[in-house]
Structure formats: structure tokens, C-alpha cells
Structure 1
């Protein structure tokens, strides 16, 4: 088994050494991958646009994504996280939250619960009832087992729909056992005199 510590330390910067070619062998489940890393201590000429990352300047091509080892430049873009440099794609997939509905990365506007009753984030367009997928136009929703529901489906899951009128019951109700039926107080009447 080979040390990943050396690999990541070498990927992080062009160090003050003469031009060297460092081959690093990474042991994986199926096979070994040989990666070459070129580092230098040469000056960056004025004709070359340097890459500035981690508070230092690098020749284009000398800094690589910590995760996928792809070269990073101004065209591809990068993000810094905990002293490491990542290409934009890896940064998104590794560190940004995923939408609980579509499982894609949530980059900008997101819906999340302020009270902590609902865990995770959603895209604005994905946030809706867990059963029927309809949005919540008045921003009112119910939480059941850490998922958002519309009024009807929440009460259906909680067995709190009126047996007579089928509307959700909020507040007092009449309950019959062993059938486990619930009624609005004004719906719980005799069938004969109704």
C-alpha cells in the first residue's frame, strides 16, 4: 500500500526544487495508477498568465485538482477548500449540498427548514409534497418522517382523515375503536338520523 499523504502534498504546489519528475503510484482496488507530477522553481515570465491559488502563484499546468488530478487554469476554474484546490466539478460534487428531491447539486437558492424539523435542502422548483410532488403555493406544508407533505397526504399518512367527509381533521375528533376511524365532531352522527 502506498501513502496518499505524499501524493497530496506534491499536488498542492510547485515547490522550490530544480525541475523534477515525480512518479507516484496509487494503489486502488482493481489496479495501480501511475501519476506524474511536474514541479519547478523557475520564474514565471511576463508573457505567461500565472494561476493564483492558496495564496501562491503557479505556472499553468502545475497545479492540479486534489481529487481528480485534472489540470486547473482560469478557463476550467477552481475552488479552494481546507487548504486544497479542486476543479469546479469535483468541488460541487464533494462539498455542495444535494437536493433531496432530484439529488443534483444545490448551488444557489435553496429551501431548507429554519427550525430543523426538516433536514437537507431542495431546489426551489423541486420543493413539494413528497407524495404528489405539488408545490406549496402558500408556503404551508407538514413534516412526516423528515419529508414535506401537503395537508391531504400528511393527514392520510397519519390516519387523520375524517371517515365520513374524507377531509383532514385538525383539532378535536371523535375516534372509534377497534376500527380506528376518526371523525370531525360534527360528522360523527347517527346514520339513521343524519
Structure 2
């Protein structure tokens, strides 16, 4: 986000008895009496003016662009960007996002409608979302630890769920099953040894066979 006040400048009034006789940056003549100091030079007050409308810039501030100075109105008409959302000129603070410019209040979360400002945001189907609403609406949780899978975390898909690579372990012995043959029972991953033991116990107790064999899975970055 760009603060407009960071590029707005103001000419300083120099006292008449400053003890020096400066040259005017416009007419190059000696200044006697009151003068302005701006852009590293001294100026007759009536000669420090907007390069477009010629209004005096001794009050109200000015903008410098490509070696020329402008009053606020002329600068906005000539250089102020348009908002990518409402298409109107941006005369206040500017929000830069997605290689475009916005009014701060126009670039907001599609869910809670709060301006995003300098906070992190995520895009979904062309709309920006603040981090809180994105996680609430689109975030993926690990089936093993029930914590969210952050961007950049290694994860894998198995048994219809998403898992951190470190959470995809045998439900009995906790051995990591990434890249290994695994089995499942009641949506819980099992290593080969515990799947065999579970199958035997099921047969001895007259249970229906429910142990299924999976495939070797590797996590994704």
C-alpha cells in the first residue's frame, strides 16, 4: 500500500532576515525579502507555481513528477491512477495488488468485506480473501493431527483425506507409511504387520474382513 502523503511535498517559508541573499530557481535573480525553499532551491513566492495551471504553490503542498511541479488538482488529473475495481481516479492512498492499483477500500475480502490493506491474502476463483476467511472456507486440514496444511507443507492424499507427510503413520505403532505399502481399517492406516494381526483377530472373532490394501504414496510439496 502506498501512502499518498509520502510523495506530497511542501515549500518552506524562509524568514526575510535569514542573513543570505539567495537566487531564485526560476528567474535566477537575487531574492530580496520573503522567499520559499523547495526542491533544494530558493524561489520568489510568485514564481514557484504549478507547471500546468500556474497557481502559486506557497500553500497546500505540491507534487514533483519528471522534473516539473504540480498542484494537487493538476497532478491528480494527469498522473493519478484509476482504481481497477470502481474505475475512478485514486486521490488518496493507493493499494497495489495483482499488478493493478485500487482504492484501499475497494480491495477487500470477498467474504467479510474488510479492506485487506497490508495483510496477506489468497485468491480463489478470481476473488481475494483475507487469511482468516480463506482458511475457514477453503483451508485443508490434516486428517491425522486435525491442524491445517499450510502452503509449502509436504502432504499426501490417502483414504479420501489429506495428511501431513509426518502424520501418515500406522495407527498402532506410529511408523511412517510414506512411500510404503499400507493397509487400512475403519479409515485408519496400518503397516503390513499390524494389518496382518488385525486380520487374524477379526477371523478369530468371526468379524467380517475389513482390512484393505493401499498403494505406495509419496508426499507432495
Q: TM-score, normalised by structure 2?
A: 0.45
The normalised TM-score by structure 1 is 0.50
Structure showing greater radius of gyration is 2
